[in-house]
Amino acid sequence: MEKILRGMMETMNSVRPPRMTALRQLHDVENGRPFAILIGTILSARTKDENTTKVVRDLFLHYKTVDELASAKIRDVEKIIRSIGFYHVKAKRIIEVAKIIKSQYNGKVPEDMDKLITLPGVGRKTANCVLVYAFEKPAIPVDTHVHRISNRLGLVSTKTPEETELALMEKIPKKHWLEINDTFVMYGQNICKPVSPMCDVCKIKKLCKYYSTSAS
């Protein structure tokens, strides 16, 4: 696995140093603040990274704490986040999440998968993102990029992101889990794209099931 991760980074740096993912950028800007990462991850669903980054920044300029967002009016939040997809639903959800964290968890985001997935709009992918980017706990968030690349490489043979997560957890040593989402997402955005992947520049193509099949 280490050879794959290093090969991905070498490929990207040789072509063009990749920009940080939205979650990595959010982690750095917010100093790993769990509440900001949780809300940012909820808002990022079906939204481009650059748009997510801007909206989250604007949101936390207005609502700096859990208490402030819990007390916000839906229409005011909608005005701030209206450039992202499903902003009506997301505005309601993040206020609900803030209220639950305030009332049930003393204003602190839980560090536990089972508790995280009880929050409105939080599934396993979002919960895993919070564990990785907020708490640096070993987990494997699986989005479309991680799912696609894992199957292309032949690491797994799965139909859904949920299946991919479980398969990767069984196959990959835990010491690599923290790197997987960040590296695979950057690779999926820059090199191993959904259409016309850049196999010619890929430094791990000899390890790739997709390449060996398409090249033959």
Q: Which of 32, 71, 21, 16 is nearest to 184 (CA)?
A: 21
pLDDT at 49: 65
Q: Whole-prediction pTM value?
A: 0.90
Final residue in a domain of this structure, among 94, 114, 135: 135
pLDDT in tens, 109-118: 999 999 999 9
Final residue in a domain of this structure, among 103, 135, 167: 135
Q: Which of 160, 156, 111, 106 is nearest to 132 (CA)?
A: 111
Taking a C-beta distance cutoff of 8 angstroms, is the pair 129, 37 a contact?
A: yes
Residues contributing to the annotated binding site for [4Fe-4S] cluster: 192, 199, 202, 208
Final residue in a domain of this structure, among 102, 120, 135: 135
pLDDT at 53: 80
Mark whether 124 and 174 lie in a shared domain: no
Q: Which of 162, 168, 159, 115 is nearest to 138 (CA)?
A: 168
- What domain count does the chain have? 2
Spell out the per-residue pLDDT of the chain, length 216, in tens.
999 999 999 999 999 888 778 888 888 877 778 999 999 999 987 767 667 788 888 999 999 899 999 999 999 999 999 988 888 999 999 999 999 999 999 999 999 999 999 999 899 999 999 999 999 999 999 999 999 999 999 999 999 999 999 999 999 999 999 999 999 999 999 999 999 999 999 999 999 999 998 865
- Residue position matching structure tokens 């479980």: 166
Residues contributing to the annotated binding site: 192, 199, 202, 208
pLDDT in tens, 117-156: 999 989 999 999 999 999 999 999 999 999 999 999 999 9
Mark whether 119 and 40 lie in a shared domain: yes
